[in-house]
Chain A
Amino acid sequence: MIQIYLNVNGEECPANVKPHWSLAVVLREQIGLTGTKTGCEMGTCGSCTVLVDGKPIFSCLRMAVDVQDCDIQTIEGIETDDVLHPLQQTFIDDHGMQCGFCTPGMIVAAKALLDKNSDPSEQEVREAIGGHLCRCGTYVRIVRAIMNAAEVMRSKS
């Protein structure tokens, strides 16, 4: 076992890991942040997406031991001062979910897009969530929620 420290949502979190343990498993089972979901665990569903140094990655395909020097942001770190992020709010308002399992990954991927591009086209939104599966099939409302969040964020800035 290797003792590591991960910087998750601005906090230093200790963990004991084996080299092949994924970041997703360590976040959920050692650090207790179960907002990040593990679906396929082989990089095809997108539900485990987190931001590493601001870029979205599949945490099931990243070794936890490999991200010790990185700034990791999970769905739990998206809100600020107990106020929901506009994306979280519009996903609720537009009901951009059915069962909600894919939602954390969708929101994290959408945040990465909106951080880079405050006025994305619908096509760009669809491309940003291209690696995410929603088995309930709520894609239309997910895209709408992301477009609406972009509008809210633009009006605030």
Chain B
Amino acid sequence: MEYYSPTDLNEAYELLKKFGDTAIPIAGSTFFMGHREELFDEVEAVINIKKLGLGYIKTEDEILKIGATTTLNEIFDHEITSSGVYKIFNETVNELNINEVRNMATIGGEVCIAGEVDMPTTLLAYDANIVIGGSEGTRVVSMADFHIGYLNNALDVTEMVVEVQIPKPPENTAGGFYKFERTAADLPIVNVAVRVSLDDDGICKDVRVVAGAATMSGVPQRSAAAEAVLLNNKINEDLIMQAAEASSDIECIDDFRTPAVVRSLWIKCSVEDALKKALSELDKGE
């Protein structure tokens, strides 16, 4: 196993091309080191991508751009997530109650792991796009298309995630995040992110209800039924309960960690709680 620490993107792309599927790009290293014994025989080249200048949070053309090697705590501490439409990103990080992991794990890594992590659920609710770089150039894939299945994503072996882009939602928008886990520091059993945009009359004009970590598909999924309940309506307590009930259209996985019926119930509870959080945030903004 060789270690490389390239200082520019082209050098990193060349290494990915040279080693193909035996190379692994590393930034926070939490996933790689946590699975090093399984990965040891498969990996020939460890490529540290932290010196490529991909640790940034900036707004350009009304798009929030987060570099792939930005850590979760950098997102948590940034003023743009302290209030307003992007506050949900602060909440999502806050729900992972391990400061040490938050100092290491990066948004690029979270996006690449299509499994029991929180950030992709929130990113799907915010219609994020993933910028993928490779020696052939860059391409942009929506969060919805990026995850193909459990622990499987749209990256070619010669590519890596370089940036996450989140388009600015309309002014009167707020998000809410809620999750169930065994302990505060554990992987999620269920996570839910919602985004609600209201017009001046308080009517819901755009909404996303997304559940992750529990789905049969293994990747975060929108609940079309719950969104349909809320869209073009004034959201009240009754409608929130109806939307929560409707979220049972998401098929849950049944495994040794938690039975599907429990996951399904917890998704309903999480949808209710996340919607209430979003609405209370919208109330504060008024």
Q: Which residues of A contact B (CB under 8 A)?
A: 2, 18-20, 22, 42-44, 46, 49, 55-58, 60-63, 65-66, 109, 112, 127-128, 130-131
Contact = CB atoms under 8 A, between A and B. Distances in A.
B98 A61 contact: no
A49 B100 contact: yes
A52 to B, nearest CB: 8
Contacts of B184: 130
Nearest to A55: B103
Interface bracket on B: 20 to 34
User: Quick one: which of B26, B32, B46, B98 has the most chain A CB within 10 A?
Assistant: B98
A22 B37 CA distance: 12
Contacts of B7: none
In the A-B complex, the 3 residue pairs with the closest CB atoms: A131-B98, A130-B97, A19-B3
B236 interface: no
B2 A109 contact: no
Interface of B: 1-3, 5, 26, 28-30, 32-34, 36, 40, 43, 46, 48, 50, 73, 97-101, 103-104, 184-185
B46 A131 contact: no
Contact of B100 (A2, A56, A127): A56
B33 A22 contact: yes
Instruction: Identify the interface centre among A2, A42, A109: most chain B CB within 10 Å of its CB.
Output: A42
A15 to B, nearest CB: 14
Contacts, number: 77
B104 A20 contact: no
10 contacts: A19-B2, A19-B46, A20-B32, A43-B33, A44-B185, A60-B33, A61-B104, A62-B33, A65-B3, A109-B99
Contact of B40 (A20, A55, A131): A20
B103 A127 contact: no
Contacts of A63: 3, 26, 29, 33, 46, 48
Nearest to B46: A19
A63 B29 CA distance: 7
Given A43-B33, A61-B34, A66-B48, A127 B97 contact: yes
A2 to B, nearest CB: 6
A19 to B, nearest CB: 4
A46 B103 CA distance: 13
Contacts of B103: 55-57
Given A20-B36, A20-B40, A131-B185, A56 B99 contact: yes
A126 to B, nearest CB: 9
Given A61-B30, A61-B104, A131-B97, 12 more contacts: A19-B46, A20-B46, A43-B33, A43-B34, A43-B101, A46-B98, A55-B73, A61-B34, A63-B3, A63-B46, A63-B48, A109-B100
B29 A131 contact: no
B97 A62 contact: no
B240 to A, nearest CB: 28
A138 to B, nearest CB: 17
Contact of B1 (A19, A46, A58, A112): A19
Contacts of A61: 28-30, 33-34, 101, 104
Contacts of B40: 20
B90 to A, nearest CB: 14
Nearest to A22: B33
Contacts of A128: 99
B100 to A, nearest CB: 5
B91 to A, nearest CB: 14
A20 B50 CA distance: 16
Q: Give the one of B1, B46, B97, B99 with max A CB within 10 A.
A: B99
